[in-house]
Structure 1
Amino acid sequence: MMFIQDFLGNDLGVADPGFQDPENAVIIFDWDDTLLPTTYILNTVIPSLPEEDRAGVIPESSPHQATLAAHAHLVGFLVRAARKVARVAIVSNSLSPWVEASSARYLPGLDLEGLLQELDVPIYYARRHLPNISVTYKVNKWDVHLDRSSGGRIGVDIIPEFDGSLAVARIEDGGLMDAWNKQHPDQEVQPGDRFQEVNGSNQHLAAECRKMQPLRITVYRAVPDRDPYVEAKRIDMVACLEKFYGRHPEWRQNVLSIGDACTEQQAIKEVLHQEANASERSTNARLPLCKTVNLIDTPTLEQLSNELRILLVWLSHMVQYHKDFDLFMDQLDDLEAELFKA
């Protein structure tokens, strides 16, 4: 019986495909600043529109309409190219129906909804999971010593918080805090940290920092036990792979995640790490392939369009590549040459 199953394939007579087979491989796209040029839309397109046009479809009279239409053509072409070499899904850290709505507004000429239906590409909206994800925090606290007796700027942009603390927004180059960070890398102050006390007082912190005196600033950092946005994406990536591989758990998973943030990378690695542990316990162990492409963060439209053109050339090679990889678009190395040998 086992021989017959091996010969005919697995259940329902479906042959067990190779890892690079289009019906076995999976490509998961992020949406914002991956397919949709979100940064360009927020920083350039929307501010250029009259107030009454900002909530609707970009008008044909807009000077950005033609460039967005050209990018929209690339998006459609890339999704079709991806579906030729793999099954495809979009996992976005947004709320429904942002993908369809933003495409209709800002990708003129592209019927994304029709395209995704034609190619059987599901959309997962991971943000809906956030209210149900519990996060616990570990608080780290330390003192920073700066001497303003002879002047000198601290060089920190701060935001007052409701509890009286000061949130660090930015560290300027050349300031006293920048010097502290360089001298004390294990106690480096980062954006997101908070000033809780200055010289033992938790009152009027900003005024205290402006005084010409030695400063002992108590800094605290709340470190979550997990990133809720990673966890939200992880939940939907599990659902996505269950949809694609659920009927054939014996197939070797070959997954390529493409996005602009480390969130996608971390989420898919957590998912496939669990799969790898399960495979190691199986008698027919075939470890999943985990491949990630990290696009440029906050790209210009030209940068994002160029990245999509590169992906058009690379997708088939990435799917066929027989090892895990992490590829960063702004740090290309010898992996590019190796991919084309696959």
Structure 2
Amino acid sequence: AGSNASESCRSEVSEPAAPGVRKDSQLVFAEKTHTALILDWDDTIFPTTWVREVMDWRYPLREQPQLEIGPRLEAIEGYLQRHRVRAQEFLAEAAEQANVFIVTLARRPWVERSMERFMPELGAFMKTHDFKVIYAQDHVDAQELQRLSAQATVEEVMEFWIRIKSDAITREMDEFHARLDASWKNVISLGDSDYERYGTVRAGEVYMSRELGDEYHQSAGGFTPEGVSADGHLKRLRLKIVKLLDNPTVVELTAELVLLRMWLPHMIQRDSGFELELNATDDDEYLIELHQAVTGERSALSWRALAGMQPE
């Protein structure tokens, strides 16, 4: 589960701005107005892998051809209900503190359909709060996708989808910050794959290069790039990236959302970018170390407790 929590929460702290450099709105980077939270959908909010493993995703929960009414169906309903409650708590907290963008590589209308079939109450909650869902594939050329499927290498496929994710993030962040007439300052990205991870970093690089050309300091790891514009404004971007578990069970994803809700205010307030990774749920000591690195608090956490399960 990694060697050291401080290594997993890699971040950079930059030097103070030089005299004469105008910091202006950089002082309020952590306010909701300037904070963008980018969320993936599959295995980040919705337990897609688990649903596909235990059910037929094409049918609503109560119409599953292989699931008869009985203890197993009731257990599955219980897991989904617990997860929905935690997902709503996390999203409500997120909406209080940040501008939330759900950016998915899934095809339209999977986000809406997945909730409709398995968590209709979450769908109603999302509509009430007017969360923005962005389907990155809406901007993919069909012919390009066919060529990719027919002859691309694994590396080319990976690169393609990172670019699609990055382009979607860039478009949304540009539109959002243009409405504010403000620079990008505080961008948090949560997702289970490297598409979110590298797509967010690339979007930040594209933005800083466009704003400052080569006149910006690229910090180690690229999480806190900064520079001074021609008119003397400090451009400082804090990219905060959390890579979640691969292929989580519904119980693991529930635990992750409880943890992320605890972490969110601390991540927002941190005046530097960082990257960290959750890569296992079998090491509570590492979880405690990572929690301390993010929050400054040492708490007796366990993955089972986060998931709402009794200790063994």
TM-score, length of structure 1 as denominator length: 0.63
Give the secondary-structure state (helix, strand or coil) at the position aligned to 2:36. strand
CA distance in 1 between counterparts of 2:154 and 2:42 reads 27
Query: Size of the alignment, in residue pairs?
Result: 240
The structure 1 residue matched to 2:141, chosen from 115, 118, 131, is: 131
Please name the residue that 2:177 is paired with.
245
Could you list the structure 1 runs, at least 4 aligned residues long, displaced by more than 6 angstroms after superposition.
Answer: none
Larger RCO, structure (CA 8 Å, separation 6 or more): 2
- The 3-state SS of whatever aligns with 1:299 is coil
Q: Structure 1 residue 24: deviation in Å?
A: 1.2
The residue that corresponds to 1:93 in the other structure is 105
Identify the residue that residue 71 of structure 1 maps to in structure 2. 83
Deviation at 1:259, TM superposition (A): 0.5
Distance 1:260 1:16 in 2: 30
Say yes or no: does 1:40 pair with 2:59.
Answer: no
CA contact (8 A) 1:130 1:229 kept: no
Task: Check conservation: 2:177, 2:184, Cα contact below 8 A.
Answer: no
Q: Indicate whether 1:264 and 2:264 are aligned.
A: no
Identity rate of aligned residues, in percent?
Answer: 24
Once residues 195 and 175 of structure 2 are traced to their aligned partners in structure 1, the CA distance between those partners, rounded to angstroms, is 21
The reply on whether 1:340 has 2:295 as its aligned counterpart is yes
Give the corresponding residue for 1:236. 168
Name the one with the larger helix percent. Answer: 2
Measured against aligned partners, the alpha-carbon deviations of 1:216-267 in whole angstroms (never above 9, x if no partner) come to xxxxx67539711111111211121123211334344201100000110111
Pairing 1:27-176 to 2, within 5 Å after superposition: 27-46=37-56, 55-59=58-62, 61=69, 62-63=73-74, 64-110=76-122, 112=123, 114-131=124-141
SS of the residue corresponding to residue 323 of structure 1 reads: coil
Unpaired segments ≥5 residues, structure 1 = 1-5, 10-14, 47-53, 138-161, 164-191, 193-220
Matches within 5 A, 1:167-206: none
What residue identity is the alignment partner of 1:20?
A
Q: Which secondary structure does the structure 2 equivalent of 1:224 belong to?
A: helix
Q: 1:308 aligns with which of 240, 244, 257?
A: 257
TM-aligned CA deviation for residue 341 of structure 1: 3.9
Distance 2:27 2:184 in 1: 9
**Matches of 2:156 and 2:78 in 1, distance apart?**
44
CA 1:323–1:133: 2 relative to 1, 3 Å? farther
Q: Which is richer in strand? A: 1
What SS does structure 2 have at the residue aligned with 1:35? coil
Amino acid at match of 1:34: T
In structure 1, what is the Cα distance between the partners aligned to 2:154 and 2:136?
Answer: 24
Give the equivalent residue in structure 1 for 2:207. Answer: 275
